[in-house]
A and B are shown apart, each in its own frame.
Chain A
Amino acid sequence: MLRYHARPMAQVADDPSAPLIHARGLTKRFGSFTAVDAIDFDVARGEAFGFLGPNGAGKTSTMRMIGCVSPRTGGELRVLGMDPDTRGPAIRARIGVVPQEDWLDQEMTARDNLVIYGRYFDLPWGEARRRAADLLEFVQLTDRADSKVEPLSGGMKRRLSVARSLINEPSLMLLDEPTTGLDPQARHLVWDRLYRLKQRGTTLVLTTHYMDEAEQLCDRLVVMDKAKIVAEGSPRDLIARHSSREVVELRFPTEVADTLDGRLDGILDGITERIERLPDRVLVYADDGEAASAAVHAGGLQPESVLVRRSTLEDVFLRLTGRSLIE
């Protein structure tokens, strides 16, 4: 009778409503240093989930625990319904990893990098070659297939890393800073490919320093700072909850900037939710940016420049931590 209640692991993993990743109190320590401090999150099937945070926040450490290459120090973690401590190889067989630093073999050709990697997943040679050709096409590297990796540009290497991580047709992809260091055109190409994967139903987990990347790609994200999660939600939620609709950036001549204390607050009382003084500019958070800017002028202040823009995740981060995302 008991066996009717026992559910085998594989079924848990394949239950469409079960989270693909489930973490509670997940902790990673290196010696006495805590890199990830008891974080909780769930990633649903088919979702694009982001970890946003500054250098050293613990994003990579978290990704490595999910990728079953770094044992957790404490807490609970299930990936695809399985425990990384005991089912590491089975989990790794079904995930694709794009690491923060490329692990491509620089002296092999682009194609061989994919084929050999396929062999690590026990794909037969023929199948590995077939998939390699398809994936090179997918990331638009077919014309460089037989070039060594070394001379490829940063953007091409990144695309090749993405292609390599797909060789086992993963249901979950882990992307650690997929576009850091790429020029805008290369970033858009990577984003486009990730977007296509998502449409095919692949679950994406990515880390980034860039709020525009998070806003473009992520359905939901957590903001990490100093080993902890400080906020969680969709990009729009986070902005609505932690910032205003618009932001006015004001720059004043230095002599004026020193006399601003209190004056701005008086002028903008009732119009702004919050004023943030940065070393080089003042940020005024308001739902109506134009009205705030008009009020500043009406109050007799003469900023050198005025920029009204929509709120971004950068503002959320600043609000939550008092620091900029990219230092």
Chain B
Amino acid sequence: MLGYRRTYRGSLFASFIQPALFLTAIGIGLGGYVNRGSGVDGVPYHVFLAPGLLAGGAMQAAAFESTFPILASIRWIKSYLAMLASPIGVHDIVTGQLAWFALRITMVATIFVTITTLLGASHVPGILVAIPAVVLMGMAFAAPIAAFSATRVNVEGFNALFRFVINPLFLFSGAFFPVSQLPALLQPVAFATPIYHGVELSRGIALGTMTLAGAVPHVLVLLAYVVGGTAACLVTFRRRLVT
């Protein structure tokens, strides 16, 4: 429906450069020390880290896309209002927006995978199969966050979201080290987040250790986030745009 979306070249660049830098600095630099032991569960650290960063990067891209541009469309660009004056309705806007998120996350993930493969930190085809998994996880973030964004009048809430939710999740939900290393109290918190399930799927698929039966619960949790987030979007977008 939405034949056109503005491209954010700057953010695209940032969204894969940052994880790539992480991978180089931490994976290969710090990994040198970790690997003097036996890596993580017998896997070299940079190979362990790459699918985790893939999920983390997808989460960050999802969170970015579903915050600032949404508020901008509502408050500054008024593009939604222009659409609503045409036969397009709120559900079309939400659908188009979600499709756009999926496309963006796919782009970011693909670029990231290309880099890690070139760096020798991941291997095709396994890592390619991980892409749809992290896109699903990205949507599990983007849909509820977009619903939240449609209730905002300024960017303050977004800064808090990144500082207190997205960044801690990036660091502590399995991307850099297994969740089993977390204090016992925090482990259930990690299990409830989409990033944990995204990392498990991404890493399991990339390293070839994931079974179908093992994947299903993760996929179901992520789907639940997507469905709930989409329903919330329909409510908050309508409340905001139709007065």
Annotate B3-28 by CB proximity to A: 1 below 8 A, 0 otherwise. Answer: 11010000000000000000000000
Provide 15 A-B residue pairs closer than 8 Å at the C-beta atoms, listed in order of the A residue.
A30-B243, A67-B85, A69-B85, A70-B242, A70-B243, A88-B89, A89-B87, A92-B85, A99-B85, A105-B77, A105-B79, A105-B82, A107-B6, A120-B83, A122-B87
Which residues A60-115 have CB closer than 8 A to chain B? 67, 69-71, 88-90, 92-93, 97, 99, 101, 103-107
Closest to B84 in A: A69
- What's the Cα separation between A103 and B86 when bound, in Å? 12
- What's the Cα separation between A69 and B242 when bound, in Å? 6
A93: chain B residues at CB < 8 Å are 86-87
Is the beta-carbon distance between B243 and A99 smaller than 8 angstroms?
no
Interface membership of B210, Cβ < 8 A: no
Q: How far is the CB of A66 from chain B (nearest CB, A)?
A: 11
B84: chain A residues at CB < 8 Å are 69
A101: chain B residues at CB < 8 Å are 78
- What's the Cα separation between A256 and B82 when bound, in Å? 56
Q: How far is the CB of A168 from chain B (nearest CB, A)?
A: 8
Interface membership of B161, Cβ < 8 A: no
Is the beta-carbon distance between B4 and A69 smaller than 8 angstroms?
no
A89: chain B residues at CB < 8 Å are 87-89
Closest to A92 in B: B87
- What's the Cα separation between A106 and B4 when bound, in Å? 15
* Given A69-B242, A70-B243, A122-B87, 14 other A-B residues pairs in contact with their CB atoms under 8 A: A67-B85, A69-B81, A70-B242, A88-B89, A89-B88, A90-B87, A101-B78, A103-B78, A103-B81, A105-B77, A105-B82, A116-B4, A120-B87, A121-B87
Interface membership of A310, Cβ < 8 A: no
Is the beta-carbon distance between A119 and B82 smaller than 8 angstroms?
no
Q: How far is the CB of B8 from chain A (nearest CB, A)?
A: 12
Contact of B79 among A69, A97, A103, A119 (CB under 8 A): A103
Annotate A157-183 by CB proximity to B: 1 below 8 A, 0 otherwise. Answer: 000000000001000000000000000
Which residues B84-123 have CB closer than 8 A to chain A? 84-89
Interface membership of A252, Cβ < 8 A: no
B77: chain A residues at CB < 8 Å are 105-106
The 3 A-B pairs at the shortest CB distance, nearest first, are namely: A103-B82, A120-B86, A89-B87
B82: chain A residues at CB < 8 Å are 103-105, 117
A67: chain B residues at CB < 8 Å are 85
Binding site for B on A (CB under 8 A): 30, 67, 69-71, 88-90, 92-93, 97, 99, 101, 103-107, 116-117, 119-122, 168
Closest to B76 in A: A106
- What's the Cα separation between A89 and B6 when bound, in Å? 25
Contact of A99 among B3, B81, B83, B88 (CB under 8 A): B81
Is the beta-carbon distance between B242 and A119 smaller than 8 angstroms?
no
B243: chain A residues at CB < 8 Å are 30, 70
- What's the Cα separation between A71 and B243 when bound, in Å? 7
- What's the Cα separation between A180 and B231 when bound, in Å? 40
- What's the Cα separation between A89 and B3 when bound, in Å? 18
Q: How far is the CB of B154 from chain A (nearest CB, A)?
A: 19
- What's the Cα separation between A93 and B6 when bound, in Å? 24
Annotate B231-243 by CB proximity to A: 1 below 8 A, 0 otherwise. Answer: 0000000000011
B86: chain A residues at CB < 8 Å are 92-93, 117, 120-121, 168
- What's the Cα separation between A30 and B242 when bound, in Å? 12
Is the beta-carbon distance between B88 and A120 smaller than 8 angstroms?
yes
Q: How far is the CB of B2 from chain A (nearest CB, A)?
A: 8
A117: chain B residues at CB < 8 Å are 82, 86
Q: How far is the CB of B72 from chain A (nearest CB, A)?
A: 11
- What's the Cα separation between A92 and B81 when bound, in Å? 13
- What's the Cα separation between A99 and B79 when bound, in Å? 12
Contact of A119 among B3, B6, B85 (CB under 8 A): B3
A103: chain B residues at CB < 8 Å are 78-79, 81-82, 85
B81: chain A residues at CB < 8 Å are 69, 99, 103
Which residues B144-194 have CB closer than 8 A to chain A? none
- What's the Cα separation between A189 and B243 when bound, in Å? 33
B88: chain A residues at CB < 8 Å are 89, 120
B78: chain A residues at CB < 8 Å are 101, 103
- What's the Cα separation between A123 and B55 when bound, in Å? 39
Is the beta-carbon distance between A116 and B3 smaller than 8 angstroms?
yes
B4: chain A residues at CB < 8 Å are 116, 119
